[in-house]
Structure 1
C-alpha cells in the first residue's frame, strides 16, 4: 500500500493558518480581559459601586431609621465592601430585634430583613405601661398609653417575679393568652406566688404562678361548663372550683320572695 506523501510546501500554509488562529485567540482573550478590567475600574470609580438605597422589612415597633442607623450602612459605603454577617450582628444588638439578615441586590440595593420580639405582656408602673418582650426584657425607655395586644402586670415589684410570670405566659396557647386582661400579683401568707387575673370575658381567676400555665391551659374547657349568665371567680390555686358573684342562696331567696309577691 502506497503512503501519501505531503510536501513541505503544502504543509506550510496550513501551519501558518493554525498559528494565525492561535494568535488571534490569544489576542481576543487578552483584549477581553483588558476591557473587563477597564470596565471594573470604571464601575468601582462610579456611583454604581456605592449603595444607592436601603429598604427595611419586617419591622413593626422599631423604626426603619433606627435599624438603618444601627446597621452603619450609608450611601457612601461601597456595595461590595459590606460585611453582611457583621451588619446583622450590629442590628441584633437592639433589644427588640430577634434576628436580622442583610441581602445585597444588584446593582447597589440593600435589604435589611428583621424579626422582632413580640410583646408578651406590659408592666404597669406609676400609671404607665412598659412592654415586656417574649425574652423577658422590659423596655424601660418605651411606654404605651393603652395596651391592647397583651396582658398588663400590676403590682409586680421584683424582676425575678416578673421573669417567673413571663416564663409561664410563654407556655400558654395564644387564644388563652389573648383572653387575659390584667394579672395582679396578690401574695398572701399561704402562697407568695398568688395571682389575681381579670379576663376579657368578664370572669376573674385566682391562681398560683407555680402551676399557672398547666391550669390556665384548661381555662376554655372550664368556662364552657359554666352558665354563660353567671359570672364570678374561677379558683385554680390548688383544686378547681367556681365562686359565683351572686350566691346560689341569695338567688333562691329572691325567687321565693318574687313568688310570694305574685301570690
Structure 2
C-alpha cells in the first residue's frame, strides 16, 4: 500500500500566513481605492465641474429662450446631478404658450429643455398689425408679425373674443390640408346668424359658412371643389343644409337684389 504523505503544521503555517497576508493586502487595496473614489466624488460635487455649464432650449418659435429658462428656474449655479428633471419640466409647462416639455441631461454638463408650443392656427388682423392666434384662442400680443407667411389664414373683423376662441378651436380641429387652402376669414355676423363667416380661398373660391361646426363643414371643401368645372368660380355656401355652389354671376345678382330690396 501507498503511504500517505503527512504535512506537518510547521510546514503549513508559512502558507497560511502568506494567504492571510494576500487577503489583507487585497482588502486594504479595496478600502483605499474606495476611499479615494469617495474623496474624488465629493471633490467633484464641490467643484465647478459638477455645475451646469450650458442650458439649451429647442423646439420654440415664439417663446424666447430667456422666458423658458426663467420658468424652469435653472441656472449655472445648479448642481448638474441634483436637478429633478420632472420638477423643472412642470415649471416650464406652467407657461401659457407651452404644450409639452422634456428636460434632460447631456454629458458632460448641459441641460436640454425641449418644448412643444401650442399650435398657431391663424393671424388676427388688428389696426396696428397681425398677431399669431394659438389653438387655445390666445392671441400673442407680444409678437407683431411684420411679414406674413402663408402658413395660416388671416382673421379679419374679429372683434369679439368669444368668437375668436371658437374659431381657433375649429381651425385646430380642421385638417392642415384643408386649413392651408384658406387665405382669409372674415367675421360677418348677421341678426339671423352671429356666427357667420366669409372665407377667401387660395384657389380662387369664396366660402360662406359659420363658426359653429366650422371644422366639420370645411372638411368637405376639397370634395366639393373636385366636382366643379376648373374654369368655374363662385361662392360655395356650406352649412347645416349641405353645400350649395353659386357662380359669381348668380351671386352678384342676389347681392344686387338684396341691395335693391
TM-score strictly above 0.5 = yes
Q: What's the offset of the Cα at 1:120?
A: 0.7
Superposed, which structure 2 residues align to 1:1-263 within 5 Å? 5-148=6-149, 149-237=151-239, 238-247=241-250
The separation in 2 between residues aligned to 1:218 and 1:101, in whole angstroms, is 37
Deviation at 1:161, TM superposition (A): 1.9
Moved more, 184-193 or 173-182: 184-193
Runs of 4 or more, structure 1, over 6 Å off, are none
**TM-score computed with the length of structure 1 as normaliser:** 0.85
Cα pair 2:137 2:166 within 8 Å, conserved: no
* Cα distance per residue 1:198-235 (max 9 Å; x no partner): 11112110012223222211111111222222221111
Return the alpha-carbon distance in structure 2 between the equivalents of residues 30 and 195 of structure 1: 79
TM-score, length-scaled by structure 2: 0.86
- The DSSP-based 3-state class of the residue aligned with 2:139 is coil
SS at match of 1:229: coil
Shift of 1:247: 4.2
CA-based RMSD of the aligned residues comes to: 2.2
Structure 2: unaligned runs, 5 residues or longer: 254-261
Secondary structure of the structure 2 residue equivalent to 1:59: coil
| Matched-pair contact (CA < 8 Å) for 2:236–2:243 | yes
Shift of 1:79: 1.3
